[in-house]
């Protein structure tokens, strides 16, 4: 791949910035100053250093965001801040999108990536990747409601949900795990029991919990090891 395209593909620097860095002699390939932007490099074998920092090429990036309230899970919105607005420049690159949406008033774990196949794998209900939420409710939940939710509740519009897993934390607070991601799904599931969700937070995707050290609005990379935990 061309050196300037390779470096700019990782998002931190634009193509023009990379060209300037190369002109200024700030990019080395295998210890030699890169003479021009168009030299061919293989990221698997060439050692590239950009402005003194080793360049690490990743085909895809996977980010964990702790979404605050009021931010929308879109790539572009004229009125509201989006989850992509919270991605710092060092992680930003073309093609990023949230793998699954949270409502504007829902907080917690949003996975942002540029890997469409991976996103499909974790979102398709067929693959049984559970999304875990904590829901605070307006009214106490009954054993009968828990039974209905665990069996597969029918929404008011007739949609039959897959079975969910419920842990009652107190009479108005539950942990709920679902593999589907229909619009307002958990709010509608609880509405079908005659209850109302007051507060909703996603705490885990598959086997990977939201990092408790990640403050609302902050974002960090998901490690390769953690990535494996999501789908197992």
What residues are annotated to the active site?
A: 103
Query: Minimum CB separation from ligand URA for residue 220, in Å?
Result: 21
Cβ pair 96, 75 in contact under 8 A? yes
Separation between Cα atoms, residue 4 and residue 8, nearest integer Å = 6
Nearer to ligand URA, 15 or 188 (CB): 188
Residue ranges binding ligand URA (CB under 6 A): 102-103, 106, 184-187, 200
Residue 9 or 164: the one with the smaller Cβ distance to ligand URA is 164
From the list 182, 132, 136, the residue with the least C-alpha distance to 158 is 182
Which residue, 18 or 141, has its beta carbon nearer to ligand URA? 141
Task: Tell me the three state secondary structure of residue 52.
Answer: coil
Helix (H, G, I), strand (E, B) or coil at 57: coil
Nearest C-alpha neighbor of 115 from the set 8, 7, 222, 210: 222
């Amino acid at each position: 791949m061309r050196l300037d395209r390779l470096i700019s593909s990782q998002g931190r620097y634009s193509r023009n910035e990379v060209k300037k860095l190369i002109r200024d002699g700030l990019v080395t390939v295998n210890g030699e100053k890169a003479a021009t932007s168009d030299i061919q490099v293989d990221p698997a074998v060439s050692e590239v250093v950009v402005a003194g920092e080793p360049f690490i090429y990743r085909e895809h990036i996977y980010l964990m965001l702790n979404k605050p309230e009021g931010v929308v899970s879109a790539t572009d919105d004229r009125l509201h801040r989006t989850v992509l607005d919270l991605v710092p420049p060092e992680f930003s690159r073309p093609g990023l999108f949230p793998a699954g949406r949270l409502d504007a008033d829902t907080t917690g774990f949003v996975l942002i990536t540029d890997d469409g196949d991976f996103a499909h794998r974790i979102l398709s209900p067929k693959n049984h990747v559970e999304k875990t939420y904590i829901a605070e409710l307006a009214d106490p939940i009954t054993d009968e409601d828990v039974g209905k939710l665990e069996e597969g509740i029918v929404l008011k519009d007739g949609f039959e949900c897959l079975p969910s897993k419920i842990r009652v934390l107190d009479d108005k607070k539950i942990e709920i795990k679902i593999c589907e991601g229909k619009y307002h799904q958990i709010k509608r599931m609880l509405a079908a029991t005659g209850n109302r969700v007051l507060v909703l937070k996603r705490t885990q995707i598959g086997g990977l919990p939201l990092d408790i050290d990640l403050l609302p609005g902050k974002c960090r990379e998901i490690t390769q090891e953690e990535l494996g935990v999501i789908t197992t």
